[in-house]
Chains A and B, each alone.
Chain A
Amino acid sequence: KNEVEQSPQNLTAQEGEFITINCSYSVGISALHWLQQHPGGGIVSLFMLSSGKKKHGRLIATINIQEKHSSLHITASHPRDSAVYICAVKGGSGGSNYKLTFGKGTLLTVNP
């Protein structure tokens, strides 16, 4: 079983909709990343958080350490938000406290 589980695997939305992507993990962590990967392949780090909530523009990330759960929200979604969103945790059972363990990603498609 993967240590990091994301849901949904695929998500299609209409422009303007509020989007939520979930991430659950089964090990103790020191931090959690939300990453965005566009079709070209490059990865952009959206957030790194270890508690509470962070906001950047239309993106909001929350984490509940006790429940081992994080969510990424996108408000007023736009077709340019279409990408794969990846949850990655740091400090899992992989040993080193700076290695990342990745979820399989959520493919988001926002239609105009």
Chain B
Amino acid sequence: GAVVSQHPSRVICKSGTSVKIECRSLDFQATTMFWYRQFPKQSLMLMATSNEGSKATYEQGVEKDKFLINHASLTLSTLTVTSAHPEDSSFYICSAIRDPNTEAFFGQGTRLTVV
């Protein structure tokens, strides 16, 4: 199957700093990428949908100024958690699709710990 690479897999940062997470589709062009957040023992929660070259669409309740998403190319989307706080500690995971009718492929996820 297609490969989506997410980096870093783990990051620990100090409160107040910003953290950038990258999501790359390695062997296909992803027209759309999705960013999810997952709390322990919970389902994935969609944060935003990102289309190449346009502004991301955020889900209700997700602060767009806190979670900056950039989808600069058909193979790369980034999520930046700005001014991180301990409550932002979570597991973040991306997925990518070639087009709306195709299968979604997921990254390995990033475990963010804010201290």
Contacts and interface: CB of A to CB of B under 8 A. Distances in A.
A96 B59 CA distance: 12
On chain B, which size bracket covers the interface?
A: 20 to 34
Interface of A: 30, 33, 35, 40-45, 48, 86, 96-100, 102-105
A41 B109 contact: yes
A44 B106 contact: yes
B115 interface: no
Binding site secondary structure of chain B: strand
A43 B100 contact: no
B49 interface: yes
Q: Which applies to chain A's interface (DSSP): helix, strand, loop or mixed?
A: loop
B43 A102 contact: yes
Contacts of A33: 103-104
B42 interface: yes
Contacts of B49: 96, 99
27 contacts: A30-B101, A33-B103, A40-B108, A41-B108, A41-B109, A41-B111, A42-B107, A42-B109, A43-B93, A43-B106, A45-B1, A45-B104, A48-B103, A48-B104, A96-B100, A97-B100, A98-B32, A98-B97, A99-B46, A100-B34, A100-B44, A100-B46, A100-B95, A102-B43, A104-B42, A104-B43, A105-B43
